Amino acid sequence: MTPDDFEFVADLLKERSGLVLTRDKSYLIENRLMPVLRRRRLKGLGDLIGYLRDGEESLAREVVEAMMSGETTFFRDWKPFEHFRTVTLPNILKARKDKESFRILCCGVSTGQEAYSLALLLREAGDALAAWDPQIVGIDIADGAITRAQKGVYSQFEAQSGLPVRMLISSFEKVGDSQWRIKDVLKAGLEFKRWNLTEELYPLGAFDVVLCRNVLTFFDQETKIQVLGRISRLLTDDGALYLGLDETTVGISNNFRAVVPEIGVFGVDRPDRPVSQSLAVGAWHGSSQSNAKESA
Ligand SMILES: C[S@@+](CC[C@H](N)C(=O)[O-])C[C@H]1O[C@@H](n2cnc3c(N)ncnc32)[C@H](O)[C@@H]1O
């Protein structure tokens, strides 16, 4: 690939998704675009980039999607979910008891495991949420990932990655020899949409909790500032934000304060509503992964 071609693809990715690709990652272009070349029966990257330069819109979308890392698992990193279950959810049950509803947004939800993990935790809350109307919205730029999330069908390997066996048995049904489909009851109140985080998010409405985990890491500082700005405008004054374990709002946004930064938990912090009142604040004992899994 010529330096010019690399710059062209890197600019296209940055402009359309916020994804930053440095020169040392140029091998990713070659690896991830191979399936696109095969699907489109193109001879090589030169041809593909030629069509992109001619402004082929559907190809540009396919390329952006192919370049995304959609890596995810059920209950990825576990502790943030344990924090949600033991701190944020009980706070929500108190703070929202008058309206008996709340909304959670998963940004960069990939193939849906993150949103279904939350749905599984809400189901486990049982009677405490019986009369409630919780909503979970999952968004991602990748069409293919969103279609898979909507179907809620996972391979044996995906189902085994992070999902306690007890939950697999109770909330999924086997499809054929090697796939598992999440039961319809878990899909109630759940919605997946294609949405680009580089665009405005306010049409999605307000949210009490936002997860944006392992997404900011792909963006440069300017895009992180914009995305966290949009997220802060969506969140309620007492909202909770979950980022990936090595992601932070520090140095990027003044609208949040760290609550349990080592597991990516932040709270909205506004002049008239300090972080101490965030839904994410409460006694957190940081149970170990193995203990948490055993109790699940
Ligand atoms: C590594 S996955 C993280 C999945 C999940 N949040 C987790 O932590 O397991 C990153 C996801 O972010 C999505 N993504 C990247 N840029 C995006 C953008 N500009 N708008 C929406 N989604 C984006 C990718 O398509 C990918 O599915």
- Residue span of the structural domain in which 133 resides: 79-151+186-295
Find the 185 Cα to ligand 1 centroid distance in Å.
25
Alpha carbon separation from 65 to 35, 74, 205 (Å, rounded): 12, 21, 25
Q: What is the pTM of this model?
A: 0.94
Give me the mean pLDDT over the 98-122 stretch. Answer: 98
Euclidean distance between CA atoms 84 and 61, whole angstroms: 34
Last-in-domain residue among 67, 88, 105: 67
Does residue 88 sit in the same domain as residue 59?
no
Strand ranges, E, within 55-148: 101-107, 133-140
Q: Which atom of ligand 1 sits closest to the CA of residue 113?
A: 9
- Is residue 173 predicted with pLDDT exceeding 50? yes
Residue 96: per-residue pLDDT: 98
> 175: Cβ–Cβ under 8 A, 6 or more apart, which residues?
153, 181
pLDDT, mean over the chain: 94
Last-in-domain residue among 35, 67, 99: 67
Give me the mean pLDDT over the 113-130 stretch. Answer: 96
Euclidean distance between CA atoms 62 and 33, whole angstroms: 9
Please give all residues whose beta carbon lies within 6 A of any atom in ligand 1, as ranges: 17-19, 68-72, 76, 108-110, 114, 140-142, 145, 196-198, 213-215, 218
- Is residue 292 predicted with pLDDT exceeding 70? no
pLDDT tens, position by position, 132-171: 999 999 999 999 999 999 999 999 999 999 999 999 999 9
Does residue 7 sit in the same domain as residue 35?
yes
